[in-house]
Structures are given as C-alpha cells and as structure tokens.
Amino acid sequence: GAVVSQHPSRVICKSGTSVKIECRSLDFQATTMFWYRQFPKQSLMLMATSNEGSKATYEQGVEKDKFLINHASLTLSTLTVTSAHPEDSSFYICSASWAYYLEAFFGQGTRLTVV
C-alpha cells in the first residue's frame, strides 16, 4: 500500500508556544488529507479536511485559528497548533487519499504533550 509519513512522532512543547506537525505522502499524490485527534482510549475524531491548494474545511467545534492547516502541495500537509495549552495534549493522526483509491492511508501519528 501507499506510504504516509508523519513527523515528528513525539513532541513536547511549552504552554503558549506553537508546534508544527508534517504529513507527507511518499509515493503518491494526495488530493485530500485529513487530520484526526485521538484522546486516550477513545476513537479518532476528524478535525479537518484539506485539499491541495484550497482552504481546509474544519469540523464543527474545531478552532481554525488554533489548529492551522496548510496543504500547499500534493504531497505535504501541515498542522500547526498555535499558542498550545495543556488541554491540546493529544495524539494527532493524519491520513491521505487520492481520488482513485478506495481507502485512505494513515501516518504513524504524533503524540503532543504541552507542559
């Protein structure tokens, strides 16, 4: 299957700072990328959908000014958590899909800890 690489796998940042998470499709062009958040022992909750070259579509309740998503190319999407707070600590997962695939491919996830 196709490979999606997410970086970093773990990050610790201080409260009030910003942190960027990258999601790359390594062997295909991802027309759409998705960002999920997963709290411990819970399911994946979709945060936003991004299409290359256009603004991301955020799910209800997700603060677009706090979670900035950029999908500047067909192989890279980034999620920036701005002015991070301890309650933003979570596991963030990206997935990428291409129009002709029936499935999305997931990155390895990023564990964010805000101290």
Contacts for 80 with CB less than 8 Å, ≥ 6 apart:
18, 19, 20, 21, 67, 68, 69, 70
Q: By C-beta, is 16 or 53 nearer to other proteins?
A: 53
Judged by CB under 8 A, which stretch of 22-30, 42-50, 61-69, 77-85 contacts other proteins?
A: 42-50
Contacts for 21 with CB less than 8 Å, ≥ 6 apart:
6, 7, 8, 11, 78, 79, 80, 81, 92, 94, 110, 112
Q: 11, 44, 62, 76: which one contacts other proteins (CB under 8 A)?
A: 44
Q: By C-beta, is 44 or 74 nearer to other proteins?
A: 44
Residues that bind other proteins (CB under 8 A): 1, 32, 34, 38, 42-46, 49, 91, 93, 95, 97, 99, 102-104, 106, 108-109
